[in-house]
Amino acid sequence: GAPAMLDVAKARPDGYTFGFPAIATFSTTPQIKKTGYTLADFRAVVQITNMWLSLAVNADSGIKTINELMAAAKANPGKYNYATHGALSTQRLFMSRLLKAFPGIELPHVSYTSGHEVSTALLGRHVTSGFGVTTNQKPYVLSGDFTMIGVSSPERLAEFPDVPTFAEQIGPEYTFASSHGLVAPKRVPEDRILTMQNLVKEALADPDVQAKFAKAGLTTDYLPADAFQTALDNMWKTIGDIMQENKFN
């Protein structure tokens, strides 16, 4: 992802080249290595969707909440762990902060290369919990294989009304929105930003588009450029703070 974002940063600022970055590419990688770009090399255009982080276990484990997972890990040292899709994935960073609320409990991290690999590993019982996003874990929850024991949204999701948020289980500060949308090279003129912003806003209001997002387990979460820029700034700071707290950078 980093070479692609560098191409966006260096593209002609004519309003014809945009990026749709993953959080790790946009906010994590530039803070741990030289990529040729930082957040300051882009301007927000429009937020399209939020992906919420979710932690799941095998349904037959009997575990229903993150507190129960931590209690099981404390009672059975060395038995429990959690998997994510990367050594410094957003899920790994968020879990590192969650673990601060449970001092003395060891829950080793196992790194894979995709959310689907994490789900496969959990299905195969190679790990005891898997941290992903709701859209990836939804099929396994619906099939009865997984129990989702926490989501990073500030309130329970309509799609998963029985799944408690991390905020209600541990504290209101344990929320994290994985904001996704379009960014552009820094010097793209304002009128072209507004043109694309308004086109996306119109598209996201289309019931057919909303239905396709819902089928994929996603929501349409339009934000204009200024509000999306604030969300990106907050993500950059949060991720930077977590990496410093854990000496990841």
Range of the domain at 135: 51-169
Beta-carbon contacts of residue 113 (< 8 Å; ≥ 6 apart): 85, 86
pLDDT tens digits, one per residue of 61-87: 999 999 999 999 999 999 999 999 988
77 lies in the same domain as 33 = no
89 lies in the same domain as 196 = no
149 lies in the same domain as 119 = yes
CATH number at residue 81: 3.40.190.10
CATH number at residue 41: 3.40.190.150
User: pTM to 2 decimals?
Assistant: 0.87
122 lies in the same domain as 157 = yes
Q: What is the pLDDT of residue 52?
A: 92
122 lies in the same domain as 59 = yes
Give a yes or no: residue 248 inside a domain: no
Q: Which residues of 91-117 are buried (b: 16+ CB within 10 A; e: fewer)?
A: bbbbbbbbbebbeeeebebbebeebeb
Picking from 151, 169, 187, the residue at the C-terminal end of a domain is 169
Burial class (CB in 10 A: 0-12, 13-18, 19+), 79: exposed
Give a yes or no: residue 208 inside a domain: yes
Determine the average pLDDT of the residues in 97-119: 93
Helix (H) or strand (E) holding 204: helix 190-204
142 lies in the same domain as 225 = no
74 lies in the same domain as 140 = yes
78 lies in the same domain as 188 = no
Beta-carbon contacts of residue 225 (< 8 Å; ≥ 6 apart): 43, 44, 45, 46, 193, 194, 197
Looking at residue 165, what DSSP letter applies?
Answer: B
Q: What is the pLDDT of residue 217?
A: 79
Phi-psi region of 155 (alpha: psi -120 to 50; beta: other; left: phi over 0): beta
Q: What is the pLDDT of residue 249?
A: 67
Give a yes or no: residue 242 inside a domain: no
Q: What is the pLDDT of residue 42?
A: 96
Which of 134, 137, 171, 166 lies closest to 150 in space, CA to CA?
Answer: 166
74 lies in the same domain as 110 = yes
Q: What is the pLDDT of residue 211?
A: 94
183 lies in the same domain as 164 = no
Query: Which one-letter amino acid corresponds to residue 184?
Result: A
Looking at residue 222, what DSSP letter applies?
Answer: -
Give a yes or no: residue 238 inside a domain: no
Give a yes or no: residue 14 inside a domain: yes
The number of domains in the chain is: 2
Greater model confidence, 25 or 193: 193
Phi, psi of 98, deg, nearest 5: -60, -40
99 lies in the same domain as 204 = no
Give a yes or no: residue 37 inside a domain: yes
159 lies in the same domain as 195 = no
- CA dist., res. 92 & res. 149, Å (int): 16
